[in-house]
Chain A
Amino acid sequence: MLIAIMADDASPTTEFERFAAAYRNDEVMVRRAEVTPDVRQDGEPVSRVMLLLSDPVDETWNVDRIRELRMTLGRKAVELGLPAVSLTLVAESDPEAVEAFVR
């Protein structure tokens, strides 16, 4: 029997997406967030999180600010009972990468 689990407005995934999309620190602002449940090669579940971010000042974002973002989202995922977070960061001015959001 196939059981489909649909994300609704109250699901942890949806709550996590809202939380992530509202995140900002003094260098990074999240414009959009998408969470996709996945499984690692070793069978462990993982939350693939794609974030559309404000453009970096230089070629990439500050390593400490991104670590703050990663830790904050990691703790929120634990709080919501979601699997470990794996981030993919997309700069808002990168049209090719932004396509990843609409695939």
Chain B
Amino acid sequence: MPSYPIEPDKLLDAANLLARPVKGRGRLAYTAHRRAVSTAYYAVFHAVSGRVVETVFPSADEAFRRRVRRWIGHGDIRSISGYVSQLQGTMGGQAPTHIVALLAPPGGPLHIDGDTATIADGFLELNDKREQADYDHDAVFPRPDTLAHIELARRVVAVVDAAQSDEATRFFGLIGMQSRIQKR
């Protein structure tokens, strides 16, 4: 049976196609730009979920991994990314005490590196824009802004694919722990 897995790089290519230049005035392109931003976000979402299952189930077969990937929710990645950004000082609010003790223990090493911060901050930005793209009728999506978000997604996907640090492994593992076993 043929298999057509969701590939982040191809989603990014599709996002770029949706953001092609359109001659003449009119807001028609804004609809395509909304879909471009949403598609770019999904490239990041699927790249992260792929690394999470690789991290948690390193020797599992592909069928198993594809099944459990479906259990990872947007909110799971958003929660862990939010803690990272709060500990980095780029997002308001306090990370819970038990998370601080894990990732930034007093007197101990900070378990957040540059790659982890790039993934977390980029995910939060794109997750928010995707929500605007799909639900906010008042949001505007100029082409340079749309392309900037596609480039951000391309950067985050590249970092997700390449990150090998202990900090990144902890990040992906925590997302796995934040997720729940589902019926789907």
Chain A residues close to B by CB (< 8 Å): 40-42, 46, 50, 56, 59-61, 63, 66-67, 70-71, 74-75, 77-78, 81-84, 86-91, 94, 96-97, 100
Known: A56-B144, A63-B151, A96-B25. A86 touches B90 (CB 8 A): no
Label chain A's interface by main secondary structure: mixed
Known: A78-B90, A81-B92, A96-B25. A67 touches B124 (CB 8 A): no
- Interface residue tally for chain B (C-beta within 8 Å): 31
- Tell me, rounded to whole Å, the shortest Cβ–Cβ distance linking A62 to chain B: 8
Nearest B residue to A42, CB-CB: B75
B142 contacts chain A at the CB level, 8 A cutoff: yes
In the complex the two chains form, is B152's CB within 8 Å of A66's CB?
yes
Digit string of B135-162 for contact with A (CB within 8 Å is 1, else 0)? 1000111111101100110110000000
Determine the distance from Cα of A24 to Cα of B149 in the docked complex, in whole angstroms.
Answer: 19
Residues 74-102 (chain B) with a chain A CB within 8 angstroms = 75, 85, 89-92
Nearest 3 Cβ contacts at the A-B interface: A60-B147, A74-B90, A97-B142
In the complex the two chains form, is A40's CB within 8 Å of B131's CB?
yes
In the complex the two chains form, is A84's CB within 8 Å of B144's CB?
no
Chain B residues close to A by CB (< 8 Å): 21, 25, 27, 75, 85, 89-92, 118, 121, 124-125, 128-129, 131-132, 135, 139-145, 147-148, 151-152, 154-155
Label chain B's interface by main secondary structure: helix
Known: A66-B152, A90-B142. A84 touches B147 (CB 8 A): no
In the complex the two chains form, is A75's CB within 8 Å of B90's CB?
yes
**Can you report 14 A-B residue pairs in the complex whose CB atoms are below 8 A from each other?**
A40-B128, A59-B21, A59-B143, A60-B145, A63-B151, A74-B90, A78-B89, A78-B91, A78-B92, A81-B92, A86-B128, A90-B142, A91-B144, A97-B145
In the complex the two chains form, is B147's CB within 8 Å of A59's CB?
yes
Known: A46-B128, A89-B142. A66 touches B92 (CB 8 A): no
Contacts of A46 in B (CB 8 A): 128
Known: A63-B152, A66-B152. A41 touches B144 (CB 8 A): no
Contacts of B125 in A (CB 8 A): 70, 86-87
Of B129, B135, B140, most buried by chain A (CB within 10 Å of CB) is B140
Contacts of A90 in B (CB 8 A): 140, 142, 144-145
